[in-house]
């Protein structure tokens, strides 16, 4: 007999109810005390039927032609995705690996020096950088490089090493976030009996952290891999646009910019809106987040003391990202030339 898979936990139900009450509260205040008035106005501004018709057109286009369309120059969107997305993927992979590895190392450093004079370089620096907006750090470093390190090819994208700088800039905030997560996980284990026993045996502090504490903390640490990838992808849009690094995020923002027909330079694209290209690039990014979350679930299960039903957790992730993708598609369906 197959066991019934429970997709939603009690905490998920509470979160949904909380979100529902928040939406109703906003509707009450913005609707001048009349909730129905707010939703009527919202329905007029964003007709659901139009969105569903657009989504059906996307699906029909794929079924009929195997593509979501082509550009003004008759280039299939799939060719552009294959050209631009690998550039972004190189920067994403670099950023993600830097954020995770250096984040764990920084978190261990913060934990080991939490009671020493080096603490200001540990939790002090981590807390300070975490408090800064990510785009502010990116812009400041951009100006430092442009002014003091002019030999660096800041705006390039066609050389094999051009993805390294965007990858580093994108990784800064996720790295500090992951360092804080690692430090918190290690600090929670501090004082446990197995740590006291290991230290009583005279084992070196570094050995105790790496072989005992860190191994037990991996489950709670890897739980945040999806959040790190979300930060990486969101920062990628800022970095690619500021650096003119011609990756998928940059190309997607160009397509969105061309929908503004108030600007004369966008008039030639009025009959060739690249909505389909925005859909395809968005799908690539959502799939990247989905794969990262699956990896996170697998790693959590590997280091979990009580082995849980991994297929139940994967099914839950699939359900969640199906809803996320439908929401993204719903938002994209309202993009129109001139809007």
Rounded CA gap, 252 and 246, in Å?
10
Rounded CA gap, 142 and 240, in Å?
12
* Mean pLDDT score, 200-223: 80
Rounded CA gap, 126 and 177, in Å?
8
Do both 167 and 247 map to the same domain?
Answer: yes
Q: How confident is the model at residue 1 (pLDDT cuts 50, 70, 90)?
A: very low
Residue 7 scores a pLDDT above 70:
no
* Mean pLDDT score, 21-40: 64
Residue 71 scores a pLDDT above 70:
yes
What is the model's pTM? 0.80
Q: How confident is the model at residue 210 (pLDDT cuts 50, 70, 90)?
A: confident
Q: For position 18, what pLDDT does the model report?
A: 67
Q: Considering the domain boundaries, does residue 3 fall inside one?
A: no
Rounded CA gap, 236 and 307, in Å?
35
- How many Å separate Cα 261 from the centre of its chain? 30
Burial class of residue 89, CB neighbours in 10 A (0-12, 13-18, 19+)? middle
The total number of structural domains that make up the chain = 2
Q: For position 12, what pLDDT does the model report?
A: 64
Which of the pair, 108 or 192, is modelled with greater confidence? Answer: 108
Q: For position 263, what pLDDT does the model report?
A: 79
Q: Considering the domain boundaries, does residue 184 fall inside one?
A: yes
Nearest CA to 176 out of 89, 91, 237, 95 is that of: 95
Q: Considering the domain boundaries, does residue 52 fall inside one?
A: no
Do both 131 and 265 map to the same domain?
Answer: yes
Do both 173 and 243 map to the same domain?
Answer: yes
Nearest CA to 280 out of 14, 81, 41 is that of: 81
Do both 254 and 318 map to the same domain?
Answer: yes
Do both 32 and 89 map to the same domain?
Answer: no
Do both 260 and 306 map to the same domain?
Answer: yes
Do both 34 and 100 map to the same domain?
Answer: no
Do both 274 and 129 map to the same domain?
Answer: yes
Q: Considering the domain boundaries, does residue 67 fall inside one?
A: no
Nearest CA to 235 out of 312, 134, 108 is that of: 134
Rounded CA gap, 131 and 315, in Å?
35
Do both 155 and 291 map to the same domain?
Answer: yes
Q: Considering the domain boundaries, does residue 99 fall inside one?
A: yes
Q: Considering the domain boundaries, does residue 84 fall inside one?
A: yes
Domain of residue 89, residue span? 77-189+216-332
Do both 146 and 20 map to the same domain?
Answer: no
* Mean pLDDT score, 250-259: 89
Do both 84 and 32 map to the same domain?
Answer: no
Burial class of residue 87, CB neighbours in 10 A (0-12, 13-18, 19+)? buried
Q: Considering the domain boundaries, does residue 98 fall inside one?
A: yes
Number of CB atoms found within 10 A of residue 187's CB: 16
State the average pLDDT for the chain.
Answer: 81
What is the domain-level CATH number for residue 291?
1.10.3720.10
pLDDT in tens, 174-185: 999 999 999 998
- The tally of CA atoms less than 13 A away on the side-chain side of residue 60 is 6
Do both 109 and 256 map to the same domain?
Answer: yes
């Amino acid at each position: 007999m197959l066991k019934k898979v429970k997709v939603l936990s009690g905490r998920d139900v509470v979160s949904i109810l909380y979100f529902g009450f928040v939406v109703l509260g906003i509707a009450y205040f913005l609707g001048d005390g009349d909730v129905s008035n707010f939703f009527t106005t919202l329905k007029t501004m964003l007709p659901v039927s139009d969105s569903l018709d657009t989504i059906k057109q996307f699906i029909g286009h794929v079924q009929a032609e195997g593509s979501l369309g082509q550009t003004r120059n008759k280039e299939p969107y799939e060719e552009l995705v294959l050209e631009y997305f690998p550039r972004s993927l190189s920067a994403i992979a670099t950023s993600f690996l830097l954020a995770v590895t250096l984040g764990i190392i920084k978190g261990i450093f913060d934990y080991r020096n939490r009671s020493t004079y080096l603490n200001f370089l540990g939790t002090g620096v981590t807390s300070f950088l975490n408090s800064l907006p990510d785009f502010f750090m990116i812009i400041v470093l951009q100006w430092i490089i442009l002014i003091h390190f002019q030999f660096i090819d800041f705006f390039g994208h066609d050389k094999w090493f051009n993805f390294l700088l965007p990858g580093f800039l994108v990784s800064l905030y996720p790295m500090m976030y992951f360092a804080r997560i690692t430090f918190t996980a290690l600090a929670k284990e501090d004082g446990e009996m197995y740590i006291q026993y290991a230290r009583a045996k005279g084992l070196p502090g570094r050995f105790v952290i790496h072989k005992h504490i860190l191994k037990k903390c991996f489950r709670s640490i890897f739980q945040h891999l999806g959040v790190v990838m979300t930060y990486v992808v969101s920062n990628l849009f800022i970095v690619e646009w500021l650096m003119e690094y011609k990756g998928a995020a940059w190309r997607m923002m160009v397509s969105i910019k061309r929908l503004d027909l108030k600007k004369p330079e966008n008039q030639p694209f009025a009959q060739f809106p690249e909505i389909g290209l925005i859909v395809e690039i968005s799908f690539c990014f959502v799939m990247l987040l989905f794969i990262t979350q699956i990896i996170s679930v697998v790693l959590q299960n590997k280091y979990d003391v009580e082995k849980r039903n991994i297929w139940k957790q994967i099914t839950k992730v699939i359900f969640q990202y199906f809803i996320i993708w439908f929401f993204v598609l719903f938002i994209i369906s309202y993009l129109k030339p001139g809007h």
